Amino acid sequence: MDRRDLIAAFGPDLEIESFDENTMTATMRVPALAGAGSENITDKAGSENISEDEDSLERVPIKYEVCDTCEGKGAHVSASIDAHGITQSEWAEWDQEERESYRSGGYDTTCVECHGKRIVPEIDWENLEGRNAELSKRVRDHLEAQYEDRRAQAHEIEMGY
Ligand SMILES: [Zn+2]
């Protein structure tokens, strides 16, 4: 899979290194558990300390889900047409041809999320949890931290910092 496809499928912030469609596993970079929990991690050999902020490459199970954005249709009406819904007055302004075009999907564009595939790869949390609860928690924490970062950044941009 191409890097661009990975970004399209998983989003730019998910640090997916590779995705193997045959085994349905992705390899991603996950930081080690940081904070209070890491104190409890002791190296079994008892020799070296485990670094708190060392990333590791982990394999996570992936499954396909029906795309939320287009609800599995592979296409949706272009956001520029009805992002805020179509008001009665707008509808009234359209001529017959435009209305027909809307109804028949003439304004549809390929889905921005699944790119027409109707399905999107998602982390198979249940499977991951069952296989490796600790890794599941690390991945979840990692994604939540990234989500918070993105929100903070968006907020800063909005506030004009
Ligand atoms: Zn879609």
Query: Per residue in 24-46, pLDDT tens?
Result: 999 988 887 655 444 444 445 44
Query: Per residue in 69-118, pLDDT tens?
Result: 899 999 988 777 766 677 888 888 888 888 887 777 777 889 988 989 99
Q: Are residues 47 and 63 in the same domain?
A: yes
Q: Are residues 36 and 103 in the same domain?
A: no
Q: Are residues 86 and 150 in the same domain?
A: no
Distance 66 CA to ligand 1 centre (A): 8
Distance 11 CA to ligand 1 centre (A): 14
Q: Are residues 24 and 60 in the same domain?
A: yes
Distance 13 CA to ligand 1 centre (A): 19
Q: Which of 53, 62, 65, 39 has its CA nearest to residue 138?
A: 53
Give yes or no for a contact between 105 and 78, defined as CB atoms under 8 angstroms apart.
Answer: no
Domain that holds residue 97: 75-110
Q: Which of 9, 11, 117 has its CA nearest to residue 73?
A: 117
1 has pLDDT over 80: no
Distance 113 CA to ligand 1 centre (A): 5
Q: Are residues 22 and 52 in the same domain?
A: yes
Distance 45 CA to ligand 1 centre (A): 48
Near ion ligand 1, which residues have CB within 5 Å?
Answer: 67, 69-70, 111, 113-114
Which residues have CB under 8 Å from 1's CB, separation 6+? 9, 18, 19, 21
Q: Are residues 66 and 134 in the same domain?
A: yes
Q: Are residues 45 and 57 in the same domain?
A: yes
Q: Which of 60, 73, 77 has its CA nearest to residue 121?
A: 60
Q: Are residues 14 and 79 in the same domain?
A: no
Please give the structure tokens belonging to residue 90: 């707008």
Q: Are residues 62 and 85 in the same domain?
A: no
CA angle 129, 23, 6 (to 5 degrees): 85
Q: What's the total number of domains in the chain?
A: 2
